[in-house]
Every structure is written in C-alpha cells, then in structure tokens.
Amino acid sequence: MFTGLIQAIGKLESRQTLGGDLRLRFTFGDSFSDLDLGESIAVSGVCLTVVEFDAHSFAADVSNETLSLSTLGSLDTDALVNLERSLLPTTRLGGHLVSGHVDGLGRIAEIRDDGRSQRWRFSAPRPLLRYIAVKGSVAVDGVSLTVNVADAEGFEVNLVPHTVAHTAFAIACTGDAVNLEVDTIARYVERLVTTKDWT
C-alpha cells in the first residue's frame, strides 16, 4: 500500500524485452539508500516489485496486463516518473490509501493558473468516472489528489506549488496520458451492492 505522497522523481534508464513482456530500469539518484529485493515501489502510480537494484537504480518486471492499463509501456527512455516506496505501519497517512493497481488511463485536458496554484482537468473513461466523486480522492500518476469537480467527461483537481515542483507534473503538458487509480472503497462498495443476493 501507498499514500500517494511522492518521495522522489525517477527516470526511465532502460527497457528490455524478456519473454514477451518488459523489464524496466529506473534511476532514483540518492533518494533511496536501503532497498530490498522484492519490495514494492509505486512508479507513477503502478506498484512494481524490485528484482534488481544498485546504489542509484532498480529494475522491475512489468506484465502485459500492467502494460495494457498504464503508461509504462509507452514511456521513452529518460522519461520522468513519480516514485513512492510502500508505507510502513508507522508512516503518516497524509494522502489516501493507494494500492498501486492502476484502473486505466486518462489524459490532461487543461491546465490553468488559479492564484499560486493550478487547476488541472483530466479526461477519463466513463466506466472509471462513476467512482470519482467531488471531495473524494483519486491517484493520478501515483499522486493523491482531492477532486474539486466531477462530471460526465472528466474531473478537476487543484495542484499547489509544492505538488507541481516535487512531482513529474512539473514537465507534464496538455494531452499527456496519465495513470488513474480510483478509490478502493468505491470499488468494494459497488461489488458488495452488485453481489448482495449471492448466498
């Protein structure tokens, strides 16, 4: 599990085709000093397992399922990514509970200034929009955000200067694809309601 609070900005160093899917290597500078094999790291919101690492990078295998639902398969070498290590029982939960299981892709539809902050609008597939509610939480490229507007075409959030400066949003542009993860509670509530007659 993750909180959606980004700890570092990484970079895609290399991609290797292995047995029909990919192994990706990401650099992280001096951000993480005590990685372990098998630990989970959210890469732009996608939970990946560390299979190799050194002092400044780690590699992870990415399945075809993950490639089909996220932006990872289309990343160019040197693309910036948001990184977050999995939370500990003692971690402050400053964002919301994020699983790192991406539900689908959205796109940046608009970016406009609002004082020192920015208003960002994202388009999203209709099947996902049913889970996105005003004042609810959504993870966009792994960043925990509060929804300000939700309608039939997409949703809007407010990004404070700190969030823009300390995530890959700093270089994002209108039209870019983003990874979306809706709130886990919404998915479970729907499942409970739709299967209430199962006995």
Confidence bin at 184 (pLDDT 50/70/90): confident
Confidence bin at 189 (pLDDT 50/70/90): confident
Instruction: Check if the beta carbon of residue 102 is closer than 8 Å to that of residue 177.
Output: no
Give the per-residue pLDDT at 188: 86
Please state the rounded mean pLDDT for residues 23-41. Answer: 93
Q: Which helix (H) or strand (E) holds 177?
A: strand 177-182
> Taking the domains of the chain in order of start, what are their residue ranges?
8-85, 104-191
Please give the distance of CA 85 from its chain centroid, rounded to a whole number: 12
4 DSSP assignment: S
| 3-state secondary structure (DSSP) of residue 185 | helix
Is 70 exceeded by the pLDDT of residue 199?
Answer: no
Instruction: Check if the beta carbon of residue 176 is closer than 8 Å to that of residue 108.
Output: yes
* CATH architecture, domain defined by 8-85: Beta Barrel (2.40)
pLDDT per residue as tens digits for the range 123-172 = 999 999 999 999 999 999 999 999 999 999 999 999 999 999 999 999 99
| 3-state secondary structure (DSSP) of residue 187 | helix
Residues composing the chain: 199
Bridge-based pairing of strands 46-53 and 57-62 is: antiparallel
Pick the residue with more confidence: 12 or 190?
12
* 8-85 and 104-191: identical CATH topology: yes
Which two tokens mark 198?
Answer: 């199962």
pLDDT per residue as tens digits for the range 58-117 = 999 999 999 999 999 999 999 999 999 999 888 888 888 899 999 999 999 999 999 999
From the list 103, 167, 108, 164, the residue with the least C-alpha distance to 132 is: 103
pLDDT per residue as tens digits for the range 81-95 = 999 999 988 888 888
* CATH architecture, domain defined by 104-191: Beta Barrel (2.40)
